[in-house]
Amino acid sequence: MHQALLVPEVLLEIFAYVKTSTQKLFAALARTCKIFHEPAMDLLWTEIHGLEPLLGCVTRLHPLIYRRGTRLGKLTISWAKGVEPLSAHEARQFLRHSSRIRTLNIRSAHPHLLSIIPAEACVFPRLRSLSLSTAYLNLFLPHTFHQSHLLTVDEGLKSFVTRCIALEHLYIYADHYYDSTSQRSLLSDRIRWCTRLVTLSCPMLDLEAWKHLSCLPTLLKLEIDQGYDDPPTLSEQDIVNLSPFLNITTLSFRQLFYAVDIIMVMQHSQFPSLKEFRLEADHLSSEEAEELFHALSRCKACRTLEEITICSDESRLAPLNSEPLTSIPHFLCFTQLRTLQLMFYNPCIYLDNDILLQAMSSWPHIRTLAINYLDDHLSSSEVSLRGLFTALSLCP
């Protein structure tokens, strides 16, 4: 063996080139020699999807999880039903490689198997990224990890956040049993413990959480994924004290039934660093759409905003003879705009030769312009073929 391979730094540099390879390759390297074993095992276990690889280290569970040399698929996750919890000795087998794991994704739920492990145990000391159901929150929460994906919101979130104040990336996915009244308050309260957030994706928050986020200097990306027909919760008289979201570059609102709260936030704050704005809502009336366009044009992002996507596909929003939306003039101030996508079922968006020419003159960097009417019978476009090509001539 070449002497250079005895230098750990050199060995890790070589192994870095095979990171994209299969796990079988790292397993083979780990069996090659003692020098290769530790670094290869670290890379083999650095990212784990599901607890099955760890549970497979338990002698009793191995034949249940692996059959004919193949790990069980999604259709056979019921293997754990009726299986006795781990003993103290089996827990040590389960944790044999836990200190190597940096990224852990837990989708299947077998928390009863791990009842022997104390709630205060830090079983994944090097963990940096975690995706899990809150059934596991009290088990797998070291102070070192910086990213988490939560599948549900419950009281376990309290333990999670109070032990991970340094959290940087937090993703919370509401399930079909999400109680917007009680759990929004709980979720908002826990998020206010996080003072170093860089990325946040979660359901709708209460006013105090919005105030906390508005003055958080580390926050760069915010996504509100409400998902259900929650009624508006913010009042205009209370929200006037929002601070500017100074460093947010990406602002996204998905699967909203009501956009009233979001419009209010946009009207009473500033986003001077905003580069990307996205909103998908079912219930967006003509008046609300115009208010949203106006608020977006006043949010101090005229020199930074590059991408705008606004979508509403609810057919009951407005009568068929409603006035077309005059959206384009609101966006002329965004001189760095590269992508504009507007998708509405009804009402449609008014566009003519003059507006299109003015828009292309105002957006020298534009690359994508999509104005879609989801109802094929609607159209308020008065753009002629000559007007189209005249505008395109300004868009190299």
Position 319 scores a pLDDT of 52
Q: What percent of the chain has pLDDT over 90?
A: 23
**Per-residue model confidence as pLDDT tens digits over 343-394:** 877 667 788 899 999 999 999 999 999 887 655 555 557 889 999 999 988 8
- Which region among 10-14, 63-67, 151-155 has the lowest average model confidence (pLDDT)? 151-155
Mean pLDDT of 16-39: 76
Beta bridge partners of 312: 281, 344
Mean pLDDT of 148-167: 57
**Per-residue model confidence as pLDDT tens digits over 170-212:** 777 665 545 566 667 777 887 887 888 899 988 888 888 999 9
Best mean pLDDT range from 27-31, 95-99, 227-231, 362-366: 362-366
Position 301 scores a pLDDT of 93
pTM of the model: 0.70
Angle CA(44)–CA(46)–CA(50) in degrees, nearest 5? 95
pLDDT at residue 59 greater than cutoff 50? yes
Tokens 């919370």 locate to 172
Over the chain, what is the mean pLDDT?
Answer: 78
Position 146 scores a pLDDT of 61
Q: Please, which pLDDT band fits residue 317 given cuts at 50, 70 and 90?
A: very low
pLDDT at residue 285 greater than cutoff 90? no
Position 256 scores a pLDDT of 78
| CA–centroid distance for 131 within its chain | 12
Q: How far apart are CA 19 and CA 40, in angstroms?
A: 10
